[in-house]
Structure 1
Amino acid sequence: MLREFCAENFTDVPAAIEAGADRIELCDNLAVGGTTPSAGVIGVATVYAHEHGARVMTMIRPRGGDFVYGSAELQMMQSDIETACRLGTDGIVFGCLERREHGFWLDLSAIEALVARVRWMQDQRDWSGVPREFDREDQHIDITFHMAFDELAPEDQFEAIDVLVKMGVTRILTHGGPAGTPIDGNLSRLRELIAYASGRLTILPGAGITYENATRIAGELGVNEVHGTKIVRLA
């Protein structure tokens, strides 16, 4: 089972990898749900992770609050994607929404632009410096659509999966329900999302999954990836 540790900057990255984290979601400012870490943090964390057999997913989020971004913020996100990719990140994490009269929907133009920037950087990368175990045949930089997904109405989430698959998203990080709800109460919904995705992309369960319940929850859901800030036991 792959354990993705959500890290605030570099501080806990070494301990998390030593404790069994196979992948790091690298953020800043977890108090607001995570924002883009600095270039220095990305560079050091990525080198360290690769030297110790782990991968890094870099959060691209210019601020806390909602996931509706203006044109200037999208320019920032594109620039930050370029920086993270140049520094060797294995993947990018973002989520963009637009307001509707009764809630939110995917901001298709923003997502398309950010995915295109990732793929452009993927084509520019010098893969000779990527550790062999990560140098996959398709030389692919992962894209995770984060828990902005949980802001969508449940009846819209299946369509959103279809759209994100077509746009080339690798995985969706989701709690399976509103923030703050117990993870055990969302297992039924997570099973529905996993079944609907049907391997076209990965549904990555997170929030409320810890080193204490990760094995049980992964088994109940039939998944082999889990995410959280307490997904491994730190000393």
Structure 2
Amino acid sequence: MAKQPLLEIAAGSVASAVAAQEGGADRVEFCGTLAEGGTTASYGALAMLRDRVRIPVYVLIRPRGGDFLYGDAEFEIMRRDVETCVSLGCDGVVIGALDADGNVDPRCRELVGAAGKLGVTFHRAIDASANPSRSLEDIVALGCERVLTSGGCANAQAGAHVIADLVKQAGDRLVVMAGAGIRSTNLAEIVELTRAHEFHGSARAVIRSAMRYLNPALQDLSPDIEQTSVAEVRAMKEVLTALSR
């Protein structure tokens, strides 16, 4: 590969972000509630993150789960969250919004403007858009440096050929980062098929609860948590390192 490949880890907690760093990740996308596809983490989590993580941190700006069609109040929340990231000294933000017809919402320009000198990634809202190729041009026009995509499919492996087309279309204008469902076991294939140079995954593993007491009446609520695995991050980095030799 001509460029050194980069691994970004989606971390849903400070512990996961620290694990990503320990495993050798190049960058963290920090968010909350990964089960919903990620939402903006709390101020307290962001502040602690800056104290404990040295690698670049991009913060997901998303007020809720569900679709990417946001009202005025939700846009104001996102703008204020971007400003919070600026004040905390984060390295970048991850944004995205669509209109009702599946086009990139022009108001995203306000979020890019609020980010100032921070880096800006456009997230997988592009995968929910009506025309990813056209949306890519809109994202370039916004001034984003990167877009995260699974090629409009449930995972990057299924959408690999579309990602490859977007990589070619983007050229040197912005980075197309492949993401969704990427693990160390399929990463090499995705690299080969997409020709991308940046890759995004959560590298999660189940952490069994340390609770000694569990209420038997709450069996519908699992006490276990999912957290980034240091070993899986290392395995993913090893794959990319081997391919870049």
TM bin, normalised by shorter chain, reads 0.7 to 0.9
Which residue does 2:105 correspond to in 1? 107
Cα distance change, pair 158–117 in 1 and its aligned pair in 2 (3 A): same
- Tell me by how many angstroms 1:31 deviates: 1.2
Q: Report percent identity of matched pairs.
A: 37
Give yes or no for contact 1:27–1:35 (8 Å, CA) kept in 2: yes
Bigger Rg, structure 1 or 2: 2
Kindly report which structure 2 residues correspond to 1:146-185, keeping only aligned pairs within 5 A, or say none. Answer: 146-153=123-130, 156-179=131-154, 182-185=155-158
Q: Which runs of 5 or more residues in structure 1 are unaligned?
A: 123-140
Are residues 1:21 and 2:25 paired? yes
Residue-pair matches, total = 204
Cα distance change, pair 183–78 in 1 and its aligned pair in 2 (3 A): closer
For residues 21-50 of structure 1, the C-alpha deviation after alignment (integer angstroms, 9 at most, x for no partner) is 110000001111100001111122123222
Give yes or no for contact 1:4–1:228 (8 Å, CA) kept in 2: yes
Are residues 1:214 and 2:211 paired? no
Are residues 1:8 and 2:12 paired? yes
Q: Which runs of 4+ in 1 moved over 4 A?
A: none
TM-score (norm 1): 0.82
Give yes or no for contact 1:91–1:142 (8 Å, CA) kept in 2: yes
Kindly report which structure 2 residues correspond to 1:39-58, keeping only aligned pairs within 5 A, or say none. Answer: 39-50=43-54, 54-58=55-59
Give yes or no for contact 2:126–2:152 (8 Å, CA) kept in 1: no
In 1, the alpha carbon distance for the partners of 2:188 and 2:90 equals: 27
For residues 109-136 of structure 1, the C-alpha deviation after alignment (integer angstroms, 9 at most, x for no partner) is x2011111112xx3xxxxxxxxxxxxxx
- Tell me by how many angstroms 1:166 deviates: 1.7
Kindly report which structure 2 residues correspond to 1:188-227, keeping only aligned pairs within 5 A, or say none. Answer: 188-227=161-200
TM-score (norm 2): 0.78
Give yes or no for contact 1:9–1:27 (8 Å, CA) kept in 2: yes
- Tell me by how many angstroms 1:209 deviates: 0.8
